[in-house]
C-alpha cells in the first residue's frame, strides 16, 4: 500500500495516521506544502490519500497563504476519487473533499477544541468501517468549520457542537472533522500554535484548557482509528 499525506502545517501532524502506516510497513510519502513540497502530478502511485488539517479553509487564497493551493489539492482529490483510490480527509481535509465534490464547506455551530464525545447516527451504526466505534466515543477536536454534504454523502457521526463530524462520501472516501489522530505530541504542537487557549476555554463552551486536553489518554481513539483504516484498506483491495 502506498500512503500519501498532504500536510499543511508542522503543528497539524499526522500523528496516529502515520503510526498506523508505519506499523503496517506501508510505503509512505508526503507533500509537506508548508515546506513548498509539490503535490503529486497524478494519482497513479497513490493507494490511500490522507489530507490533513490546517488553519486554512477551502476558500483561502494563495495571496492569503502562498503555500496552500486549495484548487490544486481539490484537483488531486478529484483525480484520486475518479481513479477509485481511497481518500481520507481530516478537518480542513474533510472540507476539501466535500468542496471538491461540489459541496460548499460550512461554519460549525460551535468552536470545538479538546476531547468531546461523538455519537454515531443510524447510518454510522450501519457503516461497517466505523460501527466498531460504538454509540459514543471520545475523540479530539480542533475546529471552527465543517465539511459540506453532497446528495450522496452520509453523516455517520455528530457531536453536541457540530452536526457533521464523520461523513462518508462513498465506500472509499471519508471525511473526519474530528481528530482521532491526536497523540500527546501532536496536541502539544497544536496547543503551542493556538493563541491564548486559556482565555478561549473560558469563553467557549466546547473549548478546554491545555491541562485538561493533555490529561487525556488518546490510545482508545487511536486504536479505533487503526481498525477503521484497516477496514478501508480491505475495501480498497477488494475492488
pLDDT at 155: 98
Domains of the chain, residue spans? 2-237
Report CA torsion sign: 41, 69, 154, 122: positive
CA nearest to 146, candidates 115, 174, 105, 178? 105
pLDDT reported for residue 169: 98
pLDDT digits (tens, 9 = 90+) for 5-59: 999 999 999 999 999 999 999 999 999 999 999 999 999 999 999 999 999 999 9
Decide which of 3.30.1360.120, 3.40.50.880, 3.60.10.10, 3.30.70.270 is the CATH code for 2-237.
3.40.50.880
**In this predicted structure, what is the pLDDT of residue 148?**
98
Task: Give 82-140 pLDDT, tens digit per residue.
Answer: 999 999 999 999 999 999 999 999 999 999 999 999 999 999 999 999 999 999 999 99
Question: Closest Cα partner for 179 from 61, 50, 79?
Answer: 50
Q: Helix, strand, or coil here: 12?
A: coil
The pLDDT value recorded for residue 42 is: 96
Secondary element (H or E) of residue 219? helix 219-237
Contact 150, 94 (CB under 8 A): no
Amino acid at each position: 500500500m502506498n500512503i500519501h499525506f498532504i500536510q499543511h502545517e508542522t503543528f497539524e501532524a499526522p500523528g496516529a495516521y502515520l503510526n498506523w502506516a508505519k506499523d503496517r510497513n506501508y510505503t509512505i510519502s508526503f507533500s509537506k506544502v508548508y515546506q513548498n513540497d509539490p503535490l503529486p502530478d497524478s494519482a497513479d502511485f497513490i493507494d490511500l490519500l490522507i489530507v490533513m488539517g490546517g488553519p486554512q479553509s477551502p476558500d483561502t487564497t494563495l495571496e492569503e497563504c502562498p503555500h496552500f493551493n486549495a484548487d490544486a489539492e481539490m484537483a488531486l482529490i478529484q483525480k484520486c476519487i475518479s481513479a477509485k483510490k481511497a481518500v481520507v480527509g481530516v478537518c480542513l481535509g474533510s472540507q476539501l473533499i466535500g468542496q471538491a465534490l461540489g459541496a460548499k464547506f460550512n461554519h460549525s455551530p460551535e468552536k470545538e477544541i479538546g476531547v468531546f464525545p461523538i455519537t454515531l447516527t443510524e447510518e454510522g451504526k450501519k457503516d461497517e468501517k466505523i460501527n466498531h466505534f460504538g454509540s459514543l466515543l471520545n475523540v479530539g477536536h480542533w475546529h471552527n468549520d465543517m465539511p459540506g454534504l453532497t446528495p450522496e454523502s452520509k453523516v455517520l457521526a455528530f457531536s453536541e457542537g457540530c452536526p457533521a463530524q464523520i461523513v462518508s462520501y462513498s465506500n472509499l472516501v471519508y471525511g473526519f472533522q474530528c481528530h482521532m489522530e491526536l497523540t500527546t505530541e501532536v496536541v502539544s504542537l497544536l496547543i503551542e500554535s493556538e493563541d491564548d487557549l486559556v482565555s478561549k476555554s473560558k469563553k467557549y463552551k466546547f473549548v478546554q484548557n491545555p491541562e485538561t486536553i493533555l490529561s487525556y489518554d488518546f490510545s482508545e481513539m487511536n486504536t479505533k482509528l487503526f481498525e477503521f483504516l484497516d477496514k478501508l484498506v480491505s475495501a480498497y483491495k477488494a475492488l
